[in-house]
Amino acid sequence: MTLRVGILGAAGYTGIELIRLIDLHPHLELTYVAARENAGQKLGKVVPSTQGVPGLGDMNLERFESEDAQKIAQELDVVFTALPHAASARLGGALLDAGTQVVDLSADFRLRDLETYEQWYGVHPRPDLISQAVYGLPEIYREELKSAQLIACPGCYPTSAILPLVPLLREKLIEIDSTIIIDAKTGASGAGRKASPVTNFSEASEGMRPYKVAGGHRHTPEMEQELSLAAGKNLKVLFTPQLVPMIRGILTTTYARIKPGVSAEQCREAAMSHLGDTLVTVMPASRLPDTLHVRGSGRAQVAYELDERTGLLLGMCAIDNLARGSSAQAIQALNVSREFCETDGIPRLATFP
């Protein structure tokens, strides 16, 4: 079985990563690429890694509009929307209406509450579709993803926090009456492909800086939503994102108070039970995650250590923000929805060194 695939936003980092992964996939064929600012150009010019690759470099980047949905939907089985918020809902929604499966990599369908979405992102162009979306974290929503027509790919930071924390919340291993602290460090590619003074080489290569602190980051409500669902109670998190001088990767450390008598080994066992080992490695005692060891792969490394002196549990996670934190996770969720092998098209080994 081969699915005809399109990408809206094919010239951005997540779109380019999707092109790489779809090319590896035994059941996906990329037949349509669109990118507003680069419309009319050859893919090989905008994405140089596709030059000379038969069937890719010579593809034309199209300009997609909502009125094109009916025509394009007849030519595609699934579309990945790697667009800014609002644009993804508007254009992806039109394709969904026309009968195409949509995997959305924006924030448009991650939040279940319309009021919360509009508080952080503004007016939602397709609020009628929010209830149809399935949160695309396969380790947590595998059953719900089966046959899903609208998949909301999780954010990169939330992925790195949810994976180590949800098993502990479901098993009631940590206290939920105190704020959970989430400290996350990311590479510059998380800011996207557009030029920015903050992420250009001369300003990012020799420094580290926090940004959007004290509840100012848009991924905060997504984390609180998913962690609250796991806990069965509304939770608050203190999330601090930090930019570090590397291109790809996220290393997240979460801090939560452990319940009396709970050990780090119990936390590891809970994680293995809830997350499996297909694309998540739960590290043994004294082994810690490293972004270099997941770079370019669809894998996540999760680890736990208990600080006996303070009673705080450190839950840690390393992922590649463009792969496991976005495009590879989108492919993984699609695989589950279509009952393909879950790892089809997903690199299991990191590019090392």
Instruction: Please report, for the chain, the start and end positions of each structural domain, with discontinuous segments joined by +.
Output: 3-132, 157-321
CATH number of the domain located at residue range(s) 157-321 in this protein: 3.30.360.10
| Rounded Cα–Cα distance for residues 301 and 229 (Å) | 23
C-alpha dihedral sign at 82, 87, 92, 98: negative
Confidence (pLDDT) at 327: 97
Q: Where is 318: in which H helix or E strand? A: strand 312-319
The phi-psi region of residue 25 (left if phi > 0; otherwise alpha if psi is between -120 and 50; otherwise beta) is beta
| CA-based end-to-end distance of the chain | 36
Confidence (pLDDT) at 193: 63
Confidence (pLDDT) at 211: 84
Confidence (pLDDT) at 212: 83
Confidence (pLDDT) at 203: 77
- Set 156, 267, 317, 341: catalytic member: 156
Q: What is the pTM of this model?
A: 0.95
| Rounded Cα–Cα distance for residues 50 and 193 (Å) | 17
Confidence (pLDDT) at 89: 95
Confidence (pLDDT) at 250: 97
Instruction: For residue range 72-121, list pLDDT tens digits in order.
Output: 999 999 999 999 999 999 999 999 999 999 999 999 999 999 999 999 99
Q: Please tell me what DSSP assigns to residue 59.
A: P
Instruction: List Cβ neighbours of 263 (8 Å cut-off, separation of 6 or more).
Output: 306
Question: Which regions in the chain score pLDDT beneath 70?
Answer: 193-196
Q: What interhelical angle do 114-121 and 220-231 show, nearest 10? A: 160
Instruction: For residue range 234-282, list pLDDT tens digits in order.
Output: 999 999 999 999 999 999 999 999 999 999 999 999 999 999 999 999 9
Catalytic-residue membership of 317: no
CATH number of the domain located at residue range(s) 3-132 in this protein: 3.40.50.720
Q: 152: closest CA among 98, 203, 235, 92? A: 92
Q: Please tell me what DSSP assigns to residue 111.
A: -
Q: 177: closest CA among 229, 234, 218? A: 234
